[in-house]
């Protein structure tokens, strides 16, 4: 039985959740219209919807704060009240709110529309990040050309946005204070519902640093062999323009420069795709079929009709991949500028993971249609991709012949995985350690750029190809910094995904401890209804329960834990330690000399 006041509370939240769902629906429609057609008119229209809804969200939060719902006897009422009283930017007055949304959307528009001039044809200034500049960073082996594209992009996508970013810092700080947070960083941290979160992050990073140092040392050694000592220092920071990615967040695009066993070549999956007439549509169909093989939700017809899966040639779009929930009639979509290659095959699964989450929790009240830990949402697709990219599965779908690797090929494949999964960690960690420091005014505005590069060097041992000063401003060269997207969700996801993978592989009978035929790096859960049932149950909770409760039901654990990740990569870690000592590879790095000391 429950008291009249609880019945009254439930009615209140039922009504408010329906209104909130409608607000989400119109917000995401307006945002999708802008993201798939970047014009100032669409940008203004989107902000107008945000502003109108912010007033409603603020009123709801204030109504709840003046009630006793957070003390209700009903745990579900308490949790809904807690979530809905968290005001972010909507705490700002209307003028400040509009100014903040203008700053953020202006940075996003700049990022989406920045083009750079070709290194080989300076009069052609039409090159976009995806696919043109990324193709050069992956395939050019000319340090001068790579440095050209690094600098063009950072000058045009970064430095030009300094004023907008300063306005963003000022107004998010004001919003955080209005909500009694010490800073906007503390507003972000509260979404992990764990007072110990930042300490756990630091502990996880420290646990993984020795492994990263082995990878960093080996890569620097091999890069120096290839490019020579004038380009790559023996013991200093790695110049990041050589690493195959604009931000140095994953290095697998240039793995052919440092394959552990070059005599065991990688299968060229892209060539197989091209040879088999793969289309973008096919990549998404394979992903859809994977989830269906687990007994999970199929993509609804509206997904295929309303998504934007390739870059259109008649308008500007925000190419950065994203998945969308329109909070109505299972209307879920992906927007990305897909190309047919292995990188996008991975991104397709990453985004379909978000889509599956949306579909699994759509029955929850609007307030609980999200992940209980931001890292969970970013981990789902990656977990499936760990199975999809295994030699076993690539053979199943006919992209390779060999479904079981010999020891040397296994080291090569584990190294390729580590060049995105382990290399990513210092990058992900720094993205928000830096923004926390800026939001908390621990780095002051005149040092914002040098502070950024000092942290990238301290945590990851990478540096710009050219000297940078505080006259430059490089952070907005990264999408998430422009778009006000918190980033530690990806760091957490890179650890959680191995915990999820181990649990699912066990359920699928694909993994057993100490069974050399059933290791984590060659597990493929394809077709396992057992695994699918567990994953569906995990996702269907949405954020209705604390993430530790939901995690415990799924994997038996209650913490973010690096053990599964280290178990997955152990053969490589042991190999690297031996190889680096055999070669006499120096480990670690000093301070970067690319910023004024
Ligand atoms: C693919 C997405 C959209 Se949620 C993304 O932003 N990711 C996925 C991996 C890390 C991060 C990035 O690109 O920086
Ligand atoms: Zn994502």
Q: ipTM strictly over 0.85?
A: yes
Query: For residue 357, which ligand has an atom nearest its CA?
Result: 2
**Torsion 245-247-250-254 (CA) sign:** positive
Whether the per-residue pLDDT at 210 is higher than 70: the answer is yes
SS3 string, 121-147, reads CCCCCCEEHHHHHHHHHHHCCCHHHHH
pLDDT of residue 195: 93
User: Do the Cβ atoms of 217 and 587 come closer than 8 Å?
Assistant: yes
Note the pLDDT tens digit of each residue in 140-169.
999 999 999 999 999 999 999 999 999 999
Average pLDDT over residues 104-128: 98
pLDDT at 129 over 90: yes
pTM of the predicted structure, to 2 decimals: 0.98
The residues, ordered by sequence, that sit 6+ positions from 146 with a Cβ below 8 Å of its Cβ are 136, 137, 140, 241, 242, 465
Nearest-ligand number for the alpha carbon of 354: 2
What burial letters (b/e) apply to 372-406, b meaning 16+ CB within 10 Å?
bbbbbbbbbbbbbbbbbbbbbbbbeeebbeeeebe
Which residues make Cβ contacts (< 8 Å) with residue 48, sequence separation at least 6?
30
Q: How many residues does the chain have?
A: 597
Encoding tokens for residue 187? Answer: 């507003």
Give mean pLDDT, residues 224-251: 98
> Does the beta carbon of 322 lie inside 6 Å of ligand 1?
yes
How confident is the prediction for the chain on average, in pLDDT? 97
Q: Quick one: pLDDT at residue 4?
A: 85
**Which atom of ligand 1 is found nearest the CA of 378?**
4
Range 54-70 average pLDDT: 96
491 lines ligand 1 (CB under 6 A): no
Q: How many beta carbons lie within 10 A of that of residue 491, not counting itself?
A: 25
Ligand 1 touching residue 350 (CB < 6 A)? yes
**pLDDT tens digits along 430-439:** 999 999 999 9
CA dihedral 446, 450, 455, 458 (to 10 degrees): -140
What DSSP designation does 114 have? -
- pLDDT for the residue numbered 101: 98
Residue 2 has pLDDT above 80, yes or no: no
Find the 192 Cα to ligand 2 centroid distance in Å. 16
Tell me, in angstroms, the distance from the centre of ligand 2 to residue 375's CA. 9
Question: What's the average model confidence in pLDDT over 75-93?
Answer: 96
State which of 134, 321, 346 you would mutate to test the pocket of ligand 1, scoring each by most atoms of that ligand within 8 A of its C-beta. 321
Read off the pLDDT of each residue in 289-311 and give the average, rounded to a whole number. 98
Query: Does residue 272 surpass a pLDDT of 80?
Result: yes
pLDDT (mean) for 235-250: 98
Query: Would you state the pLDDT for residue 207?
Result: 98
Tell me, in angstroms, the distance from the centre of ligand 2 to residue 378's CA.
Answer: 5
Tokens, residue 281: 């549509």
Query: What is the DSSP pairing of strand 127-128 with strand 115-116?
Result: antiparallel
Q: Catalytic residue numbers? A: 351, 480
Tens digits of residue pLDDT in 321-347: 999 999 999 999 999 999 999 999 999
Q: What's the rounded Cα separation, in Å, for the pair 372 and 548? A: 9
State the maximum Cα–Cα separation within the chain, in Å, rounded to a whole number. 77
Distances (CA, A) of 395 to 84, 290, 501, 552: 47, 14, 20, 33
Cβ atoms of residues 119 and 95 within 8 Å: no
Q: Which ligand is nearest to the CA of 375?
A: 2
How remote is the CA of residue 93 from the centroid of ligand 1, in Å? 32
- Segment 466-479, tens digit of pLDDT: 999 999 999 999 99
Q: Which two tokens stand for residue 461?
A: 């041992």
Mutational test site, ligand 1, from 490, 491, 494, max ligand atoms within 8 Å of CB: 490
Return the DSSP state at 90. G
Please write the tens of the pLDDT for every residue from 492-545: 999 999 999 999 999 999 999 999 999 999 999 999 999 999 999 999 999 999
pLDDT on residue 3: 84
Helix (H), strand (E) counts: the chain: 23, 6
SS3 state of residue 324: strand
pLDDT at res. 1: 60
Instruction: Give nearest CA residue, ligand 1 atom 10.
Output: 490
Q: List % helix, strand, coil for the chain (3-state, nearest 5).
A: 65, 5, 35
Gap from CA of 376 to ligand 2 centroid (Å): 10
Mean pLDDT of 374-386: 98
């Amino acid at each position: 039985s429950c008291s009249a006041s609880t019945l009254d509370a439930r009615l209140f939240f039922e009504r408010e959740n329906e209104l909130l769902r409608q607000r989400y629906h119109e917000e995401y429609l307006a945002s999708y219209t802008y993201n798939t057609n970047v014009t100032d008119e669409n940008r203004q229209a989107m902000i107008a919807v945000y502003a109108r809804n912010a007033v409603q969200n603020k009123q709801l939060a204030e109504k709840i704060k003046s009630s006793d719902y957070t003390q209700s006897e009903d745990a579900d009422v308490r949790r809904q009240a807690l979530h809905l009283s968290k005001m972010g930017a909507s705490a700002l007055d209307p003028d400040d709110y509009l100014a903040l949304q203008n700053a953020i959307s202006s940075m996003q528009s700049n990022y989406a529309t920045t083009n750079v001039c070709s290194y080989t044809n300076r009069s052609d200034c039409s090159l976009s990040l995806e696919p043109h500049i990324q193709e050069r960073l992956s395939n050019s082996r000319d340090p001068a050309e790579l440095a050209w594209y690094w600098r063009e992009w950072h000058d045009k996508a970064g430095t030009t946005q300094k004023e907008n970013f300063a306005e963003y810092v000022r107004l998010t700080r004001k919003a955080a204070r209005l909500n009694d947070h010490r800073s906007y960083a503390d507003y972000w941290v509260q979404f992990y519902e764990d007072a110990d979160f930042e300490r756990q992050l630091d502990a996880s990073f420290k646990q993984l640093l020795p492994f990263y140092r082995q990878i960093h040392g080996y890569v620097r050694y091999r890069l120096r062999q290839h490019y020579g000592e004038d380009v790559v220092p023996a013991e200093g920071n790695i110049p990041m323009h050589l690493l195959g990615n604009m931000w140095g967040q994953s290095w697998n695009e240039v793995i052919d420069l440092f394959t552990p066993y070059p005599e065991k070549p990688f299968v060229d999956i892209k060539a197989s795709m091209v040879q088999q007439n793969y289309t973008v549509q096919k990549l998404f169909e394979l992903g859809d079929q994977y989830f269906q093989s687990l007994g999970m939700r199929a993509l609804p017809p509206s997904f295929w009709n309303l998504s934007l899966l390739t870059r259109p040639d008649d308008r500007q779009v925000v190419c950065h991949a994203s998945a969308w929930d329109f909070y109505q009639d299972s209307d879920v979509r992906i927007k990305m500028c897909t190309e047919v290659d292995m990188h996008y095959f991975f991104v397709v699964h990453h985004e379909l993971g978000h889509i599956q989450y949306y579909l699994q929790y759509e029955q929850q009240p609007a307030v609980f249609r999200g992940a209980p830990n931001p890292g969970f949402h970013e981990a789902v697709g990656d977990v499936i991709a760990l199975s999809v990219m295994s030699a076993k599965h690539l053979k199943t779908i006919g992209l390779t012949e060999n479904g079981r690797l010999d020891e040397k090929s296994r080291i090569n494949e584990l190294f390729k995985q580590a060049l995105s999964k382990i290399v990513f960690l210092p990058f992900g960690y720094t993205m928000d350690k830096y923004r926390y420091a800026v939001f908390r005014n621990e780095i002051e505005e005149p040092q914002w750029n040098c502070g950024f590069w000092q942290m990238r060097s301290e945590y990851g041992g990478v540096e710009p190809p050219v000297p940078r000063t505080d006259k430059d401003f490089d952070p907005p060269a990264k999408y998430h910094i422009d778009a006000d997207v918190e980033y530690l969700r990806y760091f957490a996801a890179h650890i959680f995904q191995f915990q999820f993978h181990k649990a699912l592989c066990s359920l699928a009978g694909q993994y057993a401890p100490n069974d050399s035929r059933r290791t984590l790096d060659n597990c493929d859960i394809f077709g396992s209804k057992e695994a699918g049932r567990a994953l569906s149950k995990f996702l269907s909770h949405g954020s209705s329960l604390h993430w530790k409760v939901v995690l415990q039901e799924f994997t038996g654990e209650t913490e973010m834990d690096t053990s599964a990740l280290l178990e997955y990569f152990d053969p490589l870690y042991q190999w690297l330690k031996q190889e680096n000592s055999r070669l006499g590879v120096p480990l670690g790095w000093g301070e970067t000399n690319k910023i004024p000391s």
